[in-house]
A and B are shown apart, each in its own frame.
Chain A
Amino acid sequence: MGDEAVNKNNKKQRNILELVWDWFASVKVGISLIVILALGSALGTIYPQVNAIPHPNPNFYYKDTYGTLGDLYHKFGLSNMYTSWWFLTLVLLLGISLVIVSIDRGVPLYKSLKNQPVARKVIALRADRLYTNKETATAADLTALGQALQKRRYKIRTVDGALLAEKGRLPRFGAYVIHAGLIVIILGVFARLIPGWYYDEMVWLKEDESKTISEVGFTVKNTGFQLEYYEGGDRVKKYETDLEVYEGAQKVAEKHLIVNEPLTYNNTLVFQNSFDPTPMFKNGKVEMIDRKTEQSLGTFDINFIDPQETYTVGPYQLKLTNYFPDIKVDAEKGVYTSSNEPYNPGLSFEISGPNLAPTQQWMMPTAPFVEQMLGQEYPFTLKMVDVSLFNMTGLLVHRDLGIPVVYTGCAITLYGLVLVFYFQHRRIWARLEDGVLHIGANTNKNWLGFAKEFNKAVEPLGATAAVLKSKLAKQPENQPEPPHTTESETGREGTQA
């Protein structure tokens, strides 16, 4: 009681920095942060995030698709949650906690293991979960034990009449290795804030179209796109782009780009990300037919991306008077084009020729019924006899110089996990006192495996095999760790005499 009061008094006098340090170093705070982060992450999965919705205007999308709840979700900023200030703050707090916890626990553990004494009191050795002894022993037995353990890759330290054999000290720090790995991952993620380290853009390209992206210093050009479906279905088999990369006018790289195999140039990756499922018109061959005689008058070719102004068919001249690449006909708005891409071309020609007053005539390849509605008395039929369509390729240009950092962090984390869960810290102490060799041992996990190794090492000396005492049989006053942390490590090393 008295000690506690003193502690409390001391706490009052600690400065703010120490209080903050203790707060972050607390196990409860760390676990709370983990739990809050998990709950927060779950919140963002209720409805899709803004970057995943198939609609340009989130203000309408959430209300229309998910009703009032969806609208509230969007208005409370949950639709863009993972980049919100509070979520990033949580990640940051967790990062700080990881750093502080690791220093707060790791450094004292390191020091205590570095300074651990070789000789322990016999009473402490007797209390170990693994203990045996050999009566009428000599210094030769101690040496023999040291050699036997050395063969089992133990590091041996000796002082007069005592020995400490140790292996696997690093696994004791496994948890801090994991923490370090996670810190590296967080740093790698936030590295994108460094100017020039991160760039991300979707680029949509038609065939032979190119686009210069100054932020990454090169131009991408689509020289051909192929789309293939599995037989008898609408299931996509593959989509691939022949991609060329230019710096200025010079071609510096090219690749037949397929999904899962990006091109790398200048620390930037170009991905085959997607494609525009709606095809566009590229070229078409149009046959002009006299409606009265139903005779073909000839054909002409149209380039829908960059159409000519006039066309000649037999004696007739067709002048393109109006071109709507993506035509829409609406009762209120009239005729208009909803984009500059030739998804649904509508062309209006002025046709002139012998014995014909110049007449206006529409051509809409995807909507011939509209054409007919508009022009019952057209003198000609403009019939598309051959057409080539194409799809736009969707490329993702992505530069993230933090990726190697993140991967390094992952590797460190995995290494730490292996250390924590698959390796142990094993120590064996021996002490020669009054002609008796006392041998005690401790590990942080896998006591059964350790007991086998222990007995294999001590039996040749003539010592009896040790029997593993149950956890509860440990004597409390010499207990190195509280009972619940037998699998873990604490910063304190209390077993030394």
Chain B
Amino acid sequence: MNLLDVSGFLYGTAFFAYLAASILYVIGVTGRKIKTQTPGAANRWTNWGYRMILAGMLAHAGAITTRGIYGGYIPVSNMFEYMSFWAFTIILAYVVINAFYKLPSLGAFVAPVGLLVLAYASVFPQDHKPLIPALQSYWLNIHVTTAALGEGILTISFAAGLMYLLRTTDLTKGSRSAKFLEFVMFLFLALLAFVVTASAFAGAGYSHQMFADTPQEVTYKMPPIVGPTGTELGSQGSLAGIPLPLFNAPSWMNGNNASVQFNTIIWTLLSVAVLYLVLRLLARQPLSAVVAKWVRNLDPDMLDELSYRGVAIGYPVFTLGALVFAMIWAQEAWGSYWSWDPKETWALITWLYYTAYLHLRLRHGWEGAKSAWMAVAGFVVIMFLLVGVNLIISGLHSYAT
């Protein structure tokens, strides 16, 4: 058993600890009989949830450390390593902020987010590869960890903003806000559905190769409902009587792996539709209304303040890590501090986004709902920066895929 195995075991431990914490937290904030005198105060369940979070965080730190010792650098060089590190910073930011705010219901939101991000990380290949020359620099450790920490803190802002909206929006009326909130729930489930579907097919060892129009062979990790442009329909076998591919990617989608990605989206949509309908039928009310119960009685002003605090603390850290350190390293490695590489451009866009947030809030009176919506949408911007750019656009940072 080498260090890499130890690390893998610890990642697994962290995963299950976060899972346990999420369940404990949700029970703690939902249960009627175990309600305490003060609304939003800790109870036995959330206390144990917090302990599980701490245990998971320690295991997670151990996993990162052992993998780091094995490779000789902080493991943040590919998507698996980076995303799991981000999950770590989310949990870390929560633990630190919780020490000041003592808000158990925040854990009911952050723990599932951290859990999901860690689970999402595991969808990417986990094999350890030695570093290419451009990454052989101590700046890898400094730049990526600081940027991840900033993004972790901004995630707390998202969680608190969402809680604020769930607390203040009247979900019984079908207002636009209510619909959007339900859509946020749907997006969260979509990520969950993707992770579950991808893990299920990966677990079953599914892999299907076929030749497309492109010179390269394409590999499907999920059964090809969508084929590459020009594939003969039904030529790739069938799934439960449905011929594969059922249809082909339109010809204007001509990226290298466009059809595979399109296929993944179709599978995700199918599975999230099932997941959402099942949960919706079980709940017999909008899912946002179910989750809103976790935050009833909380002080909206405090949530608003907390969401702002997340940006106030996370924004300078993000500026330092994702822009300033990035520029210094880019200057050393690529010979130019700014190359308009998609990743750095999106880091700038994220920064501009939160700059707009701060100006709107501090200078234009956008407190409360508007500000909270911006914090929630900010999470989507960060997700695109971290994942979308790598999957859809490649560039100088493409070694991260």
Contact = CB atoms under 8 A, between A and B. Distances in A.
B88 interface: no
B137 A68 contact: no
B332 A261 contact: yes
A406 B336 CA distance: 12
The SS class assigned to the B binding surface is helix
Contact of B346 (A45, A230, A269, A400): A45
A238 B396 CA distance: 17
B229 to A, nearest CB: 11
Contacts of A41: 345, 348-349, 352
B205 interface: no
A106 interface: no
A260 B332 contact: yes
The SS class assigned to the A binding surface is helix
Contact of A27 (B315, B359, B395, B396): B359
Given A34-B356, A38-B353, A418-B316, A27 B364 contact: yes
A207 to B, nearest CB: 19
Given A273-B334, A414-B316, A485 B362 contact: yes
Contacts of B313: 421
Given A230-B130, A236-B132, A410-B324, A487 B316 contact: no
A35 B301 CA distance: 27
B312 interface: yes
A66 B254 contact: yes
B363 interface: yes
B129 A67 contact: no
B111 to A, nearest CB: 26
Contacts of A37: 352
B365 A484 contact: yes
A311 interface: no
Interface string A394-419: 00101010010011001001100110
Interface string A224-249: 00000010000111110000000000
B393 interface: yes
Nearest to A488: B362
Given A200-B336, A235-B129, A421-B315, A259 B356 contact: no
B134 interface: yes
Nearest to B100: A448
A271 interface: yes
Nearest to A68: B252
Contacts of B174: none
B191 interface: no
Interface in B331-376: 331-342, 345-346, 348-349, 352-353, 355-356, 359-367
Given A41-B348, A41-B349, A69-B252, A406 B312 contact: no
A259 B359 contact: no
A334 to B, nearest CB: 27
B320 interface: yes
A61 interface: no
Given A27-B359, A45-B345, A414 B254 contact: no
A82 B340 contact: yes
Contacts of B365: 482-485
Contact of B349 (A42, A200, A396, A422): A42
A261 B389 CA distance: 28
B80 interface: no
Contacts of A269: 335
Given A45-B342, A484-B364, A485-B365, 9 more contacts: A28-B364, A34-B355, A82-B340, A260-B133, A403-B331, A406-B337, A414-B320, A417-B315, A421-B312
6 closest A-B pairs by beta carbon, nearest first, are A484-B365, A488-B362, A259-B133, A38-B352, A417-B316, A271-B335
28 contacts: A27-B359, A28-B364, A34-B352, A34-B355, A34-B356, A38-B348, A38-B352, A42-B346, A42-B349, A44-B345, A45-B346, A46-B393, A48-B393, A69-B252, A230-B130, A237-B133, A259-B134, A260-B139, A260-B333, A262-B335, A273-B334, A396-B335, A400-B336, A413-B319, A421-B312, A483-B365, A484-B361, A488-B362
